[in-house]
Structure 1
Amino acid sequence: MAEHHTKPASERTADVIVVGAGPAGSTTAYHLARSGLDVLLLEKTAFPREKVCGDGLTPRATKQLVAMGIDVSEEAGWLRNHGLRIIAGGHRLQLDWPELASYPNYGLVRKRDDFDEQLARQAEKAGARLHERCTVGEPVLDARTGRITGVHAKLGEERTPVTFHAPLVVAADGNSTRLSLKMGLHRRDDRPMGVAVRTYFTSPRHDDDYLESWLELWDKRGAEDRLLPGYGWVFGMGDGTSNVGLGILNSSSAFKELDWREVLKAWCASMPEEWGYTPENMLGPIRGAALPMAFNRQPHYTRGLLLVGDAGGLVNPFNGEGIAYAMESGVMAAETIVQAQARATPAQRELALRNYPKVLKETYGGYYNLGRAFVKLIGNPKVMKLATERGLSHPLLMRFTLKMLANLTDPRGGDAMDRVINGLSKVAPRA
């Protein structure tokens, strides 16, 4: 492991600035610091802090936590899950996570306020300099080249104006990513968008060791019941509570016209009473967040700025999962930066940095394009109804679907299902 910079040249300068200490930013900062670079990690809130959803982690995210040296044992407060329980079309199917060489065969559950703080503290332990209550405003731009060379920010409760400088900046500031917008990077309207709403209930189901996904969401308020494009989930938190929520896609006419908090309340009211998903057991308000999918903001590198996680629209369009891709993109961004920093000239460094969007497209481009087609398909209620009614009665088909939706295959070798999914991802266009 490389030695850390014990005395930075200045408190306000660094090799890299990372804006946002969510999973994407903290992972990026951790891997940069481990490689010996001086990293400033700027977080607008103070830990612990609330975030919507993300409590249920698949084996993809689990792998990244292990790679960061985080203790994921049950003794350390993590609840392990063994797979996914799918409920739809009158069927209930329990599928274990696949046995793969590339990923562990279990997922994890952890509350987001605590989860994010663990990652940020791990980045700090590796040598990153974390500033909480640091609100980043305008980018500092080189007047000649238009490159970002730092950020203006307000620090602490006093909101003291400060300027931080670094030759490279990573935008890990989530779906709203104000830094990207200030650099002229706007959201692509041709990419799917989702919304997640969730709340917590005290419930006897708190220690359920399967993530539960309900593939049918019915709007029962009109003259006719209407099937909505999205899914419901129930995650036992292991602490006396359940996380209950909905993920909805914008591929339906219902997307803008419905109050999703009301849909969640109605869905919970239809659950068995003994589960306890009732108003008197609700802990806190229903919260919502956007799910930016399938590279909905590009380019992922321009003029000294790299986008990771939700800022780059890396949410999986098949299942709404964002944390694994946030962390994986953080690793790729860090590896790119470390290699670029070792180049001798600015032109060589730029050549290395421009490889980052290519690596993202090679890794996810084909798979995300398959996901975009999937989103359009399930936006059609007839297709969704047929899929849930017919598909769940075929366990082999559903095992294939689980691997496809959760993006869990062995890239080399693997079984016949892995080869089919990997093959489809390779031949799909990588836009």
Structure 2
Amino acid sequence: MPGPEQTAEESAAEDGAAEQGTAEQGAPEESADVIVVGAGPAGSTAAAHLARTGLDVLLLEKSAFPREKVCGDGLTPRAVKQLTDLGIDVSEEAGWLHNRGLRLVTGRRSFEFEWPELSAFPGYGLVRRRADFDELLARKAASYGARLVERANVAGPLVDERTGRITGVTAKLGEERRPAVYRAPIVVAADGNSTRLSVAMKRYRRTDRAMGVAYRTYFTTPRHQDRYLEAWLDLRDPDDPAGRLLPGYAWVFGMGDGTANVGLGVLDTAGTDVDWRELLRRWCEDLPPAYGYTPDGVTEPIRGAALPMGLNRQPHYADGLLLVGDAGGTVSPGTGEGIAYAMESGRYAAEAIVQALARRTDRSRELALRAYPQTLRSAYAGYFALGRLAADLLGRPRLLGAAGSAGLGSPALLKVAFRLMVNLTEPHAKDSLDRLLHLVGRVAPGR
């Protein structure tokens, strides 16, 4: 089985963290119980839950809010649950657009599936721009007592040469890049897909796990208040004479503000010869003119990002460092959904840290921290294994073409696809399909 390998990108990131293990002489120092590097959904969620318990938390963000992130801006009920657990007002009066479910479009047919009514999750989803969303989460963490430091570009870890444990980080502050030192016995890496901190601690990406790419833009449109998230499943390569079906989908999410987020997400198994920006432009050209997705309606340039999937960076805990969100590869391999799992991983990490810092001995604290990767595996290994299997199958053009022609128009198969995509099941649901998918997700062999 292929294991973690250092990629060229990670080697460059490690070289960029040359200050690892050293604190610049005369640099001001601060200490905390926990340092969280990155104030995205994972980091801010972790910081909020930690600060709520009374711990001293430093939340370091390299940018200044508001800041852009490539995302579809759509939130499933899994994410809604995390938001409400944090005490965030998700009402429409507070600026959120609610949606009823997911519309799957294939060919000339569309099928609408409503979010299931379950005891564990609310029966609605949300839409909100990431620039606004991320700042709201970071400010919520700060309201609970986390010390948010913006424009804090973490340069590298401080490491105890005797034990190999991380003991803090060095950073450059503001536009002047003033040196600073932050110390804590536990550090959370929430610094995204590139995760320079994890790489500097020799946590490399598993190359046997799929990666994805996502590209999106915004259009003005009369459909901006659509109450369904929309996924177009038959995404095809326009330059292929046979109309090769690509392993991914395009989306249209109304924002409720006169615009829609329009994008595509594709597995990297599709090959590197595809110009994703051009593919998105050409896909939009084929949509009905009444939708308004024309060059005249574009409000922002097309932006893209990598999607680290299937827990592809490990170990998720070692030597005082926990990996959450994109830094730990928590994006779903089956759908590309990342926000809900990022927030959940941040919460799981916080719970492990709270337990650890309440222990009296080093050994007991270490045992509590080691529970975090076990919690991740218990929560996601089975479901992500199913997603990886789907990713592997979708990466085979002939099989993908056969599956597409056989199943994309079948309502029964699309219903199963919807339930698998959204991962909203529980063992005691009324729906037998929900119960079956919950069981399969739990027993599927994860690794």
TM normalised by structure 2 equals: 0.91
Match of 1:122 in 2: 140
Q: Is the 8 A contact 1:234 1:245 kept in 2?
A: yes
Instruction: State the distance in 2 between where 1:334 and 1:237 align.
Output: 31
Of 32, 42, 49, 2:50 maps to 32
Instruction: State the distance in 2 between where 1:274 and 1:299 align.
Output: 49
Pair 1:145 & 2:166 matched: no
Instruction: State the distance in 1 between where 2:127 and 2:429 align.
Output: 30
Q: Is the 8 A contact 2:43 2:190 kept in 1?
A: yes
Match of 1:262 in 2: 278
Instruction: State the distance in 1 between where 2:145 and 2:102 align.
Output: 37
Question: Which residue identity is paired with 2:75?
Answer: L
Question: Which residue identity is paired with 1:71?
Answer: D
Instruction: State the distance in 2 between where 1:390 and 1:98 align.
Output: 26
Shift of 1:352: 0.9
Question: Which residue identity is paired with 1:357?
Answer: P
RMSD, aligned CA: 1.4
Shift of 1:143: 1.2
SS state at 1:319 partner: coil
Shift of 1:413: 4.8
Question: Which residue identity is paired with 2:167?
Answer: T
Match of 1:111 in 2: 129
Match of 1:135 in 2: 153
Match of 2:259 in 1: 241
Question: Which residue identity is paired with 2:444?
Answer: A
Residues 384/74 of structure 1: CA separation in 2 closer, same or farther (3 Å cut): same
Q: Is the 8 A contact 2:355 2:368 kept in 1?
A: yes
Residues 13/54 of structure 1: CA separation in 2 closer, same or farther (3 Å cut): farther
Contiguous gaps of at least 5 residues in structure 2: 1-27
Superposed, 1:275-286 pairs within 5 Å as 275-286=291-302
Question: Which residue identity is paired with 1:75?
Answer: E
SS state at 2:262 partner: strand
Instruction: State the distance in 1 between where 2:34 and 2:370 align.
Output: 16
Q: Is the 8 A contact 1:89 1:388 kept in 2?
A: no
Match of 1:407 in 2: 423
Residues 429/222 of structure 1: CA separation in 2 closer, same or farther (3 Å cut): closer
Match of 2:215 in 1: 197
Which has the higher mean CA deviation after the structures are superposed, 197-206 or 213-222?
Answer: 213-222
Q: Deviations over 1:182-237 (max 9, x none)?
A: 00011111001000000001111111110000001112224332211110000000
Match of 1:305 in 2: 321
Match of 1:5 in 2: none
Q: Is the 8 A contact 2:103 2:110 kept in 1?
A: yes
Percent of aligned positions that are identical? 62
Q: Is the 8 A contact 2:72 2:216 kept in 1?
A: no
Superposed, 1:147-226 pairs within 5 Å as 147-226=165-244
Shift of 1:264: 0.4
Of 342, 346, 360, 2:358 maps to 342
Which has the higher mean CA deviation after the structures are superposed, 393-402 or 43-52?
Answer: 393-402
Q: Is the 8 A contact 1:90 1:389 kept in 2?
A: no
Q: Is the 8 A contact 2:30 2:182 kept in 1?
A: yes
Question: Which residue identity is paired with 2:381?
Answer: G
Question: Which residue identity is paired with 1:361?
Answer: R
Q: Deviations over 1:121-180 (max 9, x none)?
A: 000000000000000011000110010000000112221100000000000000000000
Shift of 1:383: 3.7
Q: Is the 8 A contact 2:29 2:183 kept in 1?
A: no
Q: Deviations over 1:361-397 (max 9, x none)?
A: 0110111111100111122344434444443544344
Superposed, 1:317-328 pairs within 5 Å as 317-328=333-344
Q: Is the 8 A contact 1:231 1:247 kept in 2?
A: yes
Shift of 1:78: 0.3
Instruction: State the distance in 2 between where 1:362 and 1:54 align.
Output: 27
Which has the higher mean CA deviation after the structures are superposed, 82-91 or 181-190?
Answer: 82-91
Instruction: State the distance in 1 between where 2:120 and 2:419 align.
Output: 13
Instruction: State the distance in 1 between where 2:172 and 2:231 align.
Output: 41
Pair 1:44 & 2:26 matched: no
Q: Is the 8 A contact 2:244 2:401 kept in 1?
A: no
Instruction: State the distance in 2 between where 1:423 and 1:280 align.
Output: 48
Match of 1:315 in 2: 331
Q: Is the 8 A contact 1:91 1:392 kept in 2?
A: no
Question: Which residue identity is paired with 1:148?
Answer: I
SS state at 1:227 partner: coil
Instruction: State the distance in 2 between where 1:164 and 1:412 align.
Output: 47
Q: Is the 8 A contact 1:79 1:110 kept in 2?
A: yes
Q: Is the 8 A contact 1:81 1:209 kept in 2?
A: yes
Superposed, 1:341-380 pairs within 5 Å as 341-380=357-396
Instruction: State the distance in 1 between where 2:295 and 2:255 align.
Output: 18
Match of 2:308 in 1: 292
Question: Which residue identity is paired with 1:244?
Answer: V
Residues 411/24 of structure 1: CA separation in 2 closer, same or farther (3 Å cut): farther
Q: Is the 8 A contact 1:54 1:322 kept in 2?
A: no
Residues 278/54 of structure 1: CA separation in 2 closer, same or farther (3 Å cut): closer
Q: Deviations over 1:294-353 (max 9, x none)?
A: 011000001000000000000011110000000000110000000011111011101111
Question: Which residue identity is paired with 1:191?
Answer: R
Question: Which residue identity is paired with 2:338?
Answer: G
Superposed, 1:20-99 pairs within 5 Å as 20-99=38-117
Shift of 1:400: 2.8
Q: Is the 8 A contact 1:43 1:134 kept in 2?
A: yes
TM normalised by structure 1 equals: 0.95
SS state at 1:25 partner: helix
Shift of 1:429: 1.4
SS state at 2:92 partner: coil
Match of 1:17 in 2: 35
Q: Is the 8 A contact 2:72 2:262 kept in 1?
A: no
Q: Is the 8 A contact 2:210 2:310 kept in 1?
A: yes
Residues 411/330 of structure 1: CA separation in 2 closer, same or farther (3 Å cut): farther
Instruction: State the distance in 2 between where 1:393 and 1:232 align.
Output: 17
Residues 242/323 of structure 1: CA separation in 2 closer, same or farther (3 Å cut): same
